[in-house]
């Protein structure tokens, strides 16, 4: 019986020749991640661990991104704890105002995540790095503290589901439509504590930003992680963004999967997740009625990358945001912001009547920069649409691709380009 990609990575990091689904292991870590919300809790836990410093100052990343620049006294105090901890332990990869970005866009861009890595992060969307062929998963702040102190974490080896992607997607179909389609198909617990492994010749038509988006939302199907095979495009990305050595793992031909799903990308249509779960999906042409919106958000760790902004700008360029809509564009990192500025995308957004924010998670988790009032609707490229996620419990969030969000911002109601 063979092993999946995920199982091979975990076996190697546990120093074992073989692992099986359900097995408990202790694995060495290549990176431990925390942010301005989860790190202060981990710092308090670590103070109770009988160890003077972190296991490796180069293998910890602390990213101030959720409430940055600080929105209130509480967020300022949290960031102060992180800054002091980073200084005390000489953390190499500390990212704050001026150098920061949304963590799951920033770390790959900085070359800190590569194929074959075993990564934990005190943020549920740490599964993003599976786009590069790494095993990465979200953990709680207590596990983050233990990881920072020891460089190890325990895991229950997950079983796997294989998604065989075939065909070439249409012009406005992106990774967001792919993953929303999948979550709509299997449900928010359809991959509970299982690895979501993506294969098939359709992958060649997905750029790296598409793959990051798909891996990012594996957790929205309950997945332990999402992971892609390492191809020439992934290798090109890693070489362009850093010089860390990487290791390619491939699933065995006889690897065992709980289920196999066939997804023909050429058949996909622009897809929207209705309130209040990511599994409540409809294609835009299935909606039937005009659903008016008051806000559109284009950004987040899911869809704030440069290709996302290019698509949105292409649709918005030369048009005007609807009078009743607030359109908020959030580049995911400083480099993406600068690139968008150089390409004239920021000009396109502002001339259309949108606003552009410094990199931040902001409204995604109801932080700031776009809180919803009762009765308001938002079309958003973020990853969750739970009750009260973006503000008032009586507001509504509709998840979509940047293309659909941009077209909807111009129309004033949910629509496709």
DSSP string covering 5-63, please?
A: HHHHHHHHHTT-S---TT-EEEEE-SEEEEETTTHHHHHHHHTTSS-SS-S-TTSEEEE
**Could you tell me if 188 and 279 are in contact, meaning their C-beta atoms sit under 8 angstroms apart?**
yes
pLDDT greater than 80 at residue 172: yes
Q: Which domains does the chain have, with CATH numbers?
A: 5-263 (3.30.499.10), 271-411 (3.30.499.10)
Residue percentage of the chain with pLDDT more than 90: 95
The overall average pLDDT reported for the chain is: 96
For the stretch 294-329, pLDDT in tens is 999 999 999 999 999 999 999 999 999 999 999 999
pLDDT computed for residue 49 by the predictor? 82
Give the model's confidence band at 1: pLDDT under 50 very low, under 70 low, under 90 confident, else very high.
confident
Identify whether 69 is preceded by a cis peptide bond (ω within 30 of 0): yes
**Could you tell me if 126 and 2 are in contact, meaning their C-beta atoms sit under 8 angstroms apart?**
no
Cβ-based burial of 24 (10 A; exposed 0-12, middle 13-18, buried ≥19): exposed
**Could you tell me if 396 and 377 are in contact, meaning their C-beta atoms sit under 8 angstroms apart?**
yes
Residues in the chain: 417
For the stretch 177-228, pLDDT in tens is 999 999 999 999 999 999 999 999 999 999 999 999 999 999 999 999 999 9
pLDDT computed for residue 50 by the predictor? 73
Separation in Å, CA 225 to CA 7, 137, 157, 290, 361: 11, 6, 11, 36, 21
pLDDT computed for residue 214 by the predictor? 98
């Amino acid at each position: 019986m063979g092993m999946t990609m995920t199982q091979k990575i975990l076996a190697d990091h546990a120093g074992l020749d073989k692992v099986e689904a359900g097995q408990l292991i202790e694995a060495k870590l290549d990176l431990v991640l925390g942010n301005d919300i989860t790190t202060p809790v981990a710092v308090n836990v670590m103070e109770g661990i009988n160890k003077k410093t972190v296991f490796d100052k180069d293998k910890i990343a602390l990213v101030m991104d959720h409430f940055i620049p600080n929105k209130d006294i509480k967020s300022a105090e949290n960031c102060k704890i992180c800054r002091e901890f980073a200084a005390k332990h000489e953390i190499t990869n500390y990212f704050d105002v001026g150098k920061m970005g949304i963590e799951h866009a920033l770390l790959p861009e900085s070359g800190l995540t590569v194929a074959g890595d075993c990564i934990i992060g005190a943020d549920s969307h740490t599964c993003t790095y599976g786009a590069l062929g790494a095993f990465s998963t979200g953990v709680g702040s207590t596990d983050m503290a233990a990881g920072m102190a020891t460089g190890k974490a325990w895991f229950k080896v997950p079983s796997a589901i294989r998604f065989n992607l075939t065909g070439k997607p249409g012009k406005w179909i992106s990774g967001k439509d792919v993953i929303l389609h999948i979550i709509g198909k299997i449900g928010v617990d359809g991959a509970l504590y299982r690895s979501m492994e993506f294969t098939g010749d359709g992958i060649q038509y997905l750029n790296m930003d598409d793959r990051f988006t798909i891996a990012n939302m594996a957790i929205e199907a309950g997945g332990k992680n999402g992971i892609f095979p390492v191809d020439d495009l992934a290798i090109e990305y890693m070489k362009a963004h850093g010089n860390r050595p990487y290791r390619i793992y491939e699933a065995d031909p006889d690897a065992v999967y709980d289920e196999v799903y066939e997804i023909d990308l050429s058949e996909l249509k622009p897809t929207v997740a209705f309130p209040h779960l990511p599994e409540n999906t409809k294609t835009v042409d299935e909606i039937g009625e005009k659903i008016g919106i008051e806000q559109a958000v284009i950004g987040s760790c899911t869809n704030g990358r440069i290709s996302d902004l290019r698509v949105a700008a292409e649709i918005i360029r030369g048009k005007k945001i609807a009078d009743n809509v607030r359109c908020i564009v959030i580049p995911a990192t400083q480099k993406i912001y600068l690139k968008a500025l150089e390409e004239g995308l920021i000009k396109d957004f502002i001339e259309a009547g949108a606003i552009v924010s410094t990199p931040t998670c902001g409204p995604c988790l109801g932080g700031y920069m776009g809180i919803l009032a009762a009765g308001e609707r938002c079309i958003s490229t973020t990853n969750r649409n739970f009750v009260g996620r973006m503000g008032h419990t009586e507001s509504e969030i509709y998840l979509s691709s940047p293309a659909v969000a941009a077209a909807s911002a111009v129309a004033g109601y949910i629509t496709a380009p």
